[in-house]
Amino acid sequence: MKGVRPDIASMQQNGITGLATPRLGDPSVIPLWFGEGDEATAGFIREAASDALLAGDTFYVNTRGKPELRTSIGNYLHSVYGLRIDPKRISVPGSAMMGVTIAVQMALTQGDEALLVGPYWPNIETACRVAGADIVTVRQHEGATSWVLDMEALFAAVTPKTRLIYINSPCNPTGWIMSRSEQLALLEFCREKSILLLADEVYHRAVLNAALAPSFLDLARDDDPIVIVNGFSKAWAMTGWRVGWVVAAKAMETQWAVLSECFNTGSAPFAQQGCIVALENSESVIEALNAKYRKGAILVNEILATCSRILLTPPEGAFYAFPKIDGISSSRAFCQGLLDHKDVGVAPGFTFGPGNEQYIRICFALSHARLQEGLEKLVLFANSYKE
Ligand SMILES: Cc1ncc(COP(=O)(O)O)c(C=O)c1O
């Protein structure tokens, strides 16, 4: 391919969009494949953005985010975690994914290694590959009641080339939540080795059986080699808005501005205005969404339990289930069959990194009637599926 780096030229879209794109917008499909529900963002947030747009809030703003929004994020973090974060450590990239991309670009170059805890959302791997890095994976495994990460295996996978370790807790796709003691051990390790810890906490409020997931924010000092990524997509159901935030080491302030300018110079200003209002009244929105996800998780557990072929380790957080389908060898073929024959869209496991070929990811953020219908069709399909 002329004019394109060979390693980029060989890349494909991830396995979720690869499967979904031909059927996007088809109303007959029950979409359990993407990481979002089917309700629009709360009306008062949409109104705030629309008022700002009508009032002419259409100019460039600070590339690290409107100062008022960064202050609001600081206040929100104080209300949730009781912490005062130095506003100089907070930036507002145009999505959590952009936050990941900027962090990856700061840390990685050709020949470096990125150590990713798997299974992981595929775009993280792509962002590291675009930077030229090699990928090393340590996969969580199913414990007796939840997914588990072997910390010794994680540390053993670090080599002199490791420049970044990626952790996503609560995890997309398994729902695993990293414990406080595991976080502390990892942070101390990264401090000692000067490895960038990329902590993806976009599902920080989607916790199924506890009030809050442990956050690296509670542990990180101002000068730690850490970027904690978060955003509005998940907790406030604002996926299309493309606004994220990061808390990074104070020393990264200038570098963040430099890279932000060469990506998208931050989010649209009127979208940021919506985010300020979202944060002012966040708890009612978050509580209602979480109640929906908790009920969705119960439906998933109950309905999948009726099929002996679907082996689910229940999630502790986020809004996904990641079951193994007994007796299949191609998650892509299984998901394509489910889509073609039952009009249900789920994500194929292979796209979440090595070791996941027998798995599928089901998003349970959808309204319950459609979710239930989709799950029942999945069970029917799995019961009769032959490769
Ligand atoms: C683990 C994880 N990180 C980051 C993101 C990106 O979120 P955003 O919509 O803010 O880019 C997602 C979205 O699905 C995700 O699942």
Q: How far is the CA of 237 from the centre of ligand 1 (A)?
A: 12
Q: How far is the CA of 1 from the centre of ligand 1 (A)?
A: 30
Domain boundary pick from 237, 255, 281 = 281
CATH number at residue 376: 3.90.1150.10
What are the start-end ranges of the E strands in 130-186? 134-139, 141-142, 147-148, 162-168
Predicted confidence at residue 354, as pLDDT, reads: 98
How buried is residue 360: exposed, middle or buried, by Cβ count under 10 Å (0-12/13-18/19+)? buried
113 with 258, same domain? yes
271 with 332, same domain? no
Predicted confidence at residue 268, as pLDDT, reads: 97
Pocket mutation for ligand 1, best pick of 73, 100, 169, 233 (most atoms within 8 Å of C-beta): 233
Domain boundary pick from 248, 264, 281 = 281
Residue 1 domain flag: no
Q: How far is the CA of 97 from the centre of ligand 1 (A)?
A: 6
77 with 226, same domain? yes
Predicted confidence at residue 211, as pLDDT, reads: 86
Q: Which is the closest atom of ligand 1 to the Cα of 96?
A: 10
Q: What is the per-residue pLDDT across 56-80, written as a single tens digit (0 to 9) for each?
A: 999 999 999 999 999 999 999 999 9
Q: Whose CA is nearest to atom 8 of ligand 1?
A: 96
Looking at the predicted structure, is the pLDDT value of residue 99 above 90? yes
104 with 149, same domain? yes
Residue 387 domain flag: no
The half-sphere exposure of 268 on its side-chain side, counting CA atoms within 13 A, is 13
CATH number at residue 129: 3.40.640.10
Q: Which is the closest atom of ligand 1 to the Cα of 36?
A: 14
Residues 207-213 have a mean pLDDT of 91
Q: How far is the CA of 168 from the centre of ligand 1 (A)?
A: 10
Residue 49 domain flag: no
248 with 109, same domain? yes
Residue 208 domain flag: yes
Domain that holds residue 115: 59-281
What is the DSSP track for 36-62? --SSPPPHHHHHHHHHHHHTT--S---
User: 325 pairs with which residues across the strands?
Assistant: 310
Q: Which is the closest atom of ligand 1 to the Cα of 232?
A: 10
CA 348 – CA 335 distance, rounded (Å)? 6
20 with 97, same domain? no
Q: Whose CA is nearest to atom 14 of ligand 1?
A: 35
Q: How far is the CA of 2 from the centre of ligand 1 (A)?
A: 31
Based on the structure, what is the number of domains in the chain? 2
- The average confidence (pLDDT) of the chain is 97
Query: Token pair of 88, please?
Result: 């100089």
Q: How far is the CA of 172 from the centre of ligand 1 (A)?
A: 9
User: 167 pairs with which residues across the strands?
Assistant: 199
234 with 332, same domain? no
Pocket of ligand 1 (CB under 6 A): 35, 95-97, 121, 168, 172, 200, 202, 231, 233, 239, 244
Asked if 140 and 318 count as a contact pair (C-beta separation under 8 A), the reply is: no
Residues 311-329 have a mean pLDDT of 97
72 with 21, same domain? no
Residues 367-374 have a mean pLDDT of 97
Please give the DSSP secondary-structure letter assigned to residue 359: B
Q: How far is the CA of 202 from the centre of ligand 1 (A)?
A: 6
Looking at the predicted structure, is the pLDDT value of residue 376 above 90? yes
Q: What is the per-residue pLDDT across 336-357, written as a single tens digit (0 to 9) for each?
A: 999 999 999 999 999 999 999 9
273 with 324, same domain? no
* Residue of 380, 370, 289, 284 whose CA lies nearest to 341: 380
248 with 361, same domain? no
163 with 277, same domain? yes
* Residue of 157, 214, 217, 142 whose CA lies nearest to 189: 157
Q: pTM, whole model, 2 decimals?
A: 0.97
204 with 170, same domain? yes
Q: What is the per-residue pLDDT across 218-268, written as a single tens digit (0 to 9) for each?
A: 999 999 999 999 999 999 999 999 999 999 999 999 999 999 999 999 999
